[in-house]
Chains A and B, each alone.
Chain A
């Protein structure tokens, strides 16, 4: 992977507030890269330092091999889709899309054709003459996208571009953005606080907390092997049980899990590193299986009581408290044909697989 953006040891202070605390990351050419994190963790700040709207307090950013220090936003090979879209209200749709073409050496007719082509790419063919202030949210978002893409930037920065859209439109735009990114081959850096959106769209995701990158990984690895409990809690649902690490011995780790007994874990199941002492293990709801009458277990089995039943149609979510533990575990089960839905208070057996566990120390 050839890096197009290299961020080295970047710090940013707002007065006394330490907004970025040593960011190091390489972003590859043509990659769909996401910055994911809770509100206020510094995602927008990082994006704006890349775009050139914020000065760095420390560290360097290289884009395309060029040091960006002192380079103003209008001289950087990046373009941004703003969270509010920032559509110019005094211009038409076509004038908005063609805004950045003023110094383009092409003839006005060629520019108009380029604008029309960009509008077609985002599905707004024929909207060029409309007044920009008369557009819907989704249309504005497309105009903002076309306006940036027409300049063929090396990197497109998107600051929560979908957060203002309703669920249905958001899902539609997610797949369209992904398709568009593959089509134009431009590096996309997407800021989002929606973990699902990040998982669906990205090649790699950087999870940020309090100005630092907690984990940088492809979606599958991030979901299956989160390095800390904080990351695990932020991405999807995860069950935690207290555990204590008995011995760490090379590739094998012996762990005593409350309510489940002793398990032997592989080193890769401790992505955050293992050491003896107190900790916790986590597992996703879909790695646990409720055993119905007559079903034979695969892996190990625990017994417990159903405390909560949430029926979603295609899925049922159970809260089961295993014997010897006082926290319910969330278990998701597909509602297959002929499979009944358990009642609250029922006793049940739960199959679990030690290979699905992740250890946090």
Chain B
């Protein structure tokens, strides 16, 4: 940067060799060098499969093979077939519900830790919040299966207490079970960004609001909440993006009514051997997630612009 600026005004034609030398010494070069292992890895692991999927999605499915005939029929099916549309809408509904539930539950926890836990205890609290990560995701999902099952913890407790006569059936192998399990799994992801945003709020702003005549509740509404919005938006993105494509939870606790888009994709790929349709579904799901995320990123931009000093 600096080198280019300093040489402004010299003849534009420049020896390619010196330009290369300057580049090698520049900050940009060392930056590229630093990120290159990660960048290479990401390229191999992400971009190549992505390209393969994009390619598959416009090819024609043959019996046991894929034919090299370009077509948009897969997309027509993915968007047109009511079955897929229903699964896609369900996925959106589930992850939106999970996001809403998680963020609504995470906010009070983050608020409590940020405002009511003494500073010396905060790291202990954050540590405790991350404890669920100590067991594998799969095991946690299985645990929910045990808790919510026909003879599970919830049902047997309620029956022992005499509150219900028969086991509840609406809590496992349906959308509810998927929402409950995912909301639990993603709670820490939502708590942390909100906590960070709350921590950054200058406490004298809250005092100033009270000093200017606002009660605690209105101070929260007019100062704390708007200033913590970047954290809320981050939490929404962090929960929404992975949950919409979650495979394990709907597979294990969702039952037939709880299937989500990734289960449908898996079905196309591994059971029906229909790579092109599976790819078209995957690309469509990605496009939808991207669209929703962009809306939130735009919102975050607005909040962030205000926060920058």
Report whether B211 and A51 are in contact in the complex, using a CB–CB cutoff of 8 Å: yes
Report whether A84 and B202 are in contact in the complex, using a CB–CB cutoff of 8 Å: yes
In the complex, the chain B residue whose C-beta lies closest to that of A48 is B207
Report whether A86 and B204 are in contact in the complex, using a CB–CB cutoff of 8 Å: yes
- Which of B210, B211, B212, B309 lies in contact with A133, CB distance below 8 A? B309
Q: A84-B202, A88-B223 known; A79 and B211 CB under 8 Å?
A: yes
Report whether B307 and A79 are in contact in the complex, using a CB–CB cutoff of 8 Å: no
- Residue from A78, A83, A86, A103 having most chain B Cβ neighbours under 10 A: A86
Docked Cα-Cα span, A90 to B308, in Å, equals: 9
Docked Cα-Cα span, A99 to B208, in Å, equals: 10
Report whether A102 and B208 are in contact in the complex, using a CB–CB cutoff of 8 Å: no
Chain A residues in the interface with B (C-beta under 8 A)? 51, 53, 72-74, 78-80, 82-84, 86, 88-90, 99-100, 102-103, 131, 133, 147-148, 151
Report whether B204 and A99 are in contact in the complex, using a CB–CB cutoff of 8 Å: no
Report whether B307 and A100 are in contact in the complex, using a CB–CB cutoff of 8 Å: no
Q: Does B62 contact A (CB under 8 A)?
A: no
Q: Does B215 contact A (CB under 8 A)?
A: yes
A-B contacts besides A53-B207, A84-B202, A84-B204, 19 pairs, CB < 8 Å: A74-B215, A79-B211, A82-B204, A88-B205, A88-B208, A88-B209, A89-B205, A89-B307, A90-B226, A90-B303, A90-B307, A99-B209, A100-B213, A102-B214, A102-B218, A133-B306, A133-B308, A147-B212, A148-B211
**Interface class of chain B by DSSP:** helix
Question: Which interface class (under 10, 10 to 19, 20 to 34, 35 or more) fits B?
Answer: 20 to 34
Docked Cα-Cα span, A128 to B9, in Å, equals: 42
Chain B residues in the interface with A (C-beta under 8 A)? 202, 204-205, 207-215, 218, 222-223, 226-227, 303, 306-309
Nearest Cβ on chain A to B308's Cβ, whole angstroms:
7
- Which of A72, A84, A90, A100 lies in contact with B212, CB distance below 8 A? A100
Nearest Cβ on chain A to B21's Cβ, whole angstroms:
41
Cβ contacts A to B, 22 pairs, < 8 Å: A73-B207, A74-B211, A78-B211, A82-B204, A82-B208, A84-B202, A84-B204, A86-B207, A86-B208, A88-B209, A88-B223, A90-B303, A100-B212, A100-B214, A102-B213, A102-B218, A103-B213, A133-B306, A133-B307, A133-B309, A148-B211, A151-B212
Nearest Cβ on chain B to A15's Cβ, whole angstroms:
12
Docked Cα-Cα span, A251 to B218, in Å, equals: 62
Report whether B210 and A72 are in contact in the complex, using a CB–CB cutoff of 8 Å: yes
Report whether B205 and A80 are in contact in the complex, using a CB–CB cutoff of 8 Å: no
